[in-house]
């Protein structure tokens, strides 16, 4: 936090009041009405983020095909970070009114947390994109990536964060639902499938890092540092593998509609909005429940294809959606 004589506990309490979130009681069983409202708000933001990710799947697939997976990912995360700068300026102005001219975005822990989250996001998002590019079907890719819903509570056990039995039941039901929803072929693993499983481990790390750092930082500033770190790191393989070998072709690809529309959607909404919703939402939601809510991305992707693109929704897929929604409700009881 910022320098001064104010005790860190007081600082965190003031931040809690400013953002209307209670960081100390977020895992308490005996919660007051205020904390329950905060958790409902966090759950709603995570669900909205999952909805945007689900609808954005087509845009991300087309954009990766147009300009390459690394260039697409790097550019969209840089766009996502830059568009949040004006929002940071507004929140900084409000913070300065409360803290006597000082703002809570220049702390050491913010930079450490933002870069750590950015590295985890770089690993996870690029393993996922490359796995899809190498030929794993979209449904199978969605199922393998969503395996973080199992990895998050398991990792939490090693960090001393236990989950009640109903959460483990919800995780199991969600995994079954995701299998019915996403898998249309046998569950045999190829090299690209292993990359997607590795991306699930990366997303697990990112979720746990956000759970640790989000309560201590300005969420907008944390998002910006995370996105820009991810974008800059991703542009290293983008230049080496995609841009330098054919700069003229890459420039021509950037000028096409197939590149810019997916980039703007993914950069502004899928990155700038959704991942920020994740950071804000996880301030008041247990990481395992957060992972369950974010797994709704697969449900929204299927429903969006059914509603917007006229794709066929089978009874098996519909039953998978129902199971996932039941699991989410069970986790929230």
Answer yes or no: is 165 within a domain.
Answer: yes
Answer yes or no: is 22 within a domain.
Answer: no
Per-residue pLDDT, 22? 42
The tally of domains found in the chain comes to: 1
Q: At what angle do helices 257-265 and 69-83 cross, to 10 degrees?
A: 50
Answer yes or no: is 13 within a domain.
Answer: no
Is the separation of the CB atoms in 214 and 279 below 8 Å? yes
Per-residue pLDDT, 99? 46
Q: What is the DSSP string of 72-86?
A: HHHHHHHHHHHHTHH
Instruction: Render pLDDT for 229-242 as a digit per residue (tens, 0 to 9).
Output: 999 999 999 999 99
Instruction: Render pLDDT for 161-199 as a digit per residue (tens, 0 to 9).
Output: 777 888 888 888 888 888 887 776 666 677 888 898 899
In this prediction, residue 332 has a pLDDT band, given cuts at 50, 70 and 90, of low
Question: Domain range for residue 276?
Answer: 38-332
The larger pLDDT score, comparing residue 40 to residue 236, is at 236
CB atoms near residue 25 (< 10 Å)? 18
Residues 6+ away with beta carbon under 8 Å from 198: 123, 127
Q: Using CA atoms, how far apart are residues 179 and 187, in angstroms rounded to an integer?
A: 9
Per-residue pLDDT, 150? 84
Answer yes or no: is 32 within a domain.
Answer: no
pTM (2 d.p.): 0.77
Answer yes or no: is 112 within a domain.
Answer: yes
Return the structure tokens found at 74: 């790097």
Is the separation of the CB atoms in 145 and 297 below 8 Å? no
């Amino acid at each position: 936090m910022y320098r001064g004589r104010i005790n860190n506990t007081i600082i965190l309490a003031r931040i809690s009041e400013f953002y209307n979130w209670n960081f100390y009681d977020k895992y308490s069983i005996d919660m007051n009405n205020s904390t329950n409202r905060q958790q409902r708000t966090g759950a709603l933001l995570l669900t909205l983020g999952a909805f945007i990710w689900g609808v954005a799947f087509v845009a991300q697939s087309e954009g990766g095909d147009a300009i390459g997976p690394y260039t697409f990912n790097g550019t969209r995360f840089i766009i996502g970070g830059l568009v949040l700068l004006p929002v940071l300026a507004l929140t900084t102005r409000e913070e300065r009114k409360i803290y006597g001219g000082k703002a809570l975005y220049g702390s050491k822990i913010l930079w450490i947390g933002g870069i750590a989250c950015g590295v985890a996001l770089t690993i996870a998002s690029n393993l996922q994109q490359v796995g899809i590019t190498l030929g794993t079907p979209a449904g199978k890719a969605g199922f393998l990536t969503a395996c973080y819903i199992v990895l998050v509570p398991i990792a939490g056990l090693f960090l001393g964060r236990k989950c009640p039995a109903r959460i483990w039941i919800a995780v199991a039901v969600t995994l079954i639902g995701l299998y019915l929803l996403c898998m249309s072929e046998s569950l045999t693993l190829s090299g690209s499938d292993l990359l997607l499983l590795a991306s699930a481990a990366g997303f697990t790390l990112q979720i746990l890092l956000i759970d640790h750092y989000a309560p201590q930082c300005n969420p907008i500033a944390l998002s910006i540092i995370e996105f820009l770190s991810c974008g800059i790191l991703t542009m290293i393989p983008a230049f080496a593998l995609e841009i330098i070998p054919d700069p003229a072709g890459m420039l021509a690809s950037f000028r096409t509609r197939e590149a810019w529309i997916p980039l703007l959607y993914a950069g502004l909404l899928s990155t700038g909005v959704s991942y920020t919703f994740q950071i804000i939402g996880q301030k008041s939601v247990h990481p395992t429940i957060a992972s369950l809510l974010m797994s709704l991305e697969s449900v929204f992707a299927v429903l969006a294809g059914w509603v917007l693109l006229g794709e066929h929704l089978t009874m098996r897929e519909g039953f998978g959606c129902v199971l996932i929604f039941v699991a989410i409700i069970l986790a929230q009881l």
